Amino acid sequence: MPVQPSAKRPVTVLAGTYGHPIHPILVTVPIGAWVSAFVFDAASHLVGNPEFLALGAMWLIALGVVGAAAAGMAGFLDLLAIPSGTPAHRTGLLHMTLNLLVTTSYLVNFLWRHAGEGPTGAVGAGPLALNAVSLAVLAVSGYLGGRLAYRYGVRVVDEATQAEGFAPHSR
């Protein structure tokens, strides 16, 4: 049996069990919330009464920030299992840094929208542009997250375990 690299095993059950990491499922919350917020932002420029869309986008951004905090904690636990000085560790650090930048930008975006009376019309050009740029950076970070899992096999089970799924069914 091949030796198990430490990056395939969780450092604690809080990161999920072997073969069932929690980080990938948690990232769906901020990604979904922030993409939906962008759609609401754009749609707020197409309807006669845009306040409900602008308000919805603001709260979707807040939901994404909370979800990103949870996903980030699980992802940080996964990063701790990657040996330092490796390409996978450098990729993980860049992935984490970009996600921290994106989460901070969305927190700023929420506070910007929430200031004063809150949304009173279509989303302004500044918050809309910040949302778009943040999504672009998130896409780059997502690519790096995919590289960690699919190229470097971080938190992916070993090949012997994977082979079980392709073994012929015996009767």
Decide if 9 contacts 81 (C-beta within 8 A): yes
Position 4 scores a pLDDT of: 52
Decide if 7 contacts 154 (C-beta within 8 A): yes
Q: What is the DSSP letter of 157?
A: P
What is the C-alpha separation between 23 and 11, in angstroms, rounded? 13
Give the contacts of 51 (CB within 8 A, at least 6 positions apart): 119, 120, 121
State pTM to two decimals.
0.90
Q: Cα angle at 57 between 56 and 58, to 5 degrees?
A: 90
- Tell me whether residue 127 is exposed, middle or buried, using C-beta atoms within 10 angstroms of its C-beta: 0 to 12, 13 to 18, 19 or more: buried
What is the C-alpha separation between 75 and 10, in angstroms, rounded? 11
Position 3 scores a pLDDT of: 47
* H or E element that contains 134: helix 125-146
Position 120 scores a pLDDT of: 86
Q: Give me the tens of pLDDT residue by residue for the chain, a chain 171 residues long.
A: 444 577 888 888 888 888 889 999 999 999 999 999 999 999 999 999 999 999 999 999 999 999 999 999 999 999 999 999 999 999 999 999 999 999 999 999 999 999 988 788 999 999 999 999 999 999 999 999 999 999 999 988 888 888 888 889 876
Position 11 scores a pLDDT of: 85
Domain map of the chain by residue range? Answer: 40-158
What is the C-alpha separation between 141 and 168, in angstroms, rounded? 38
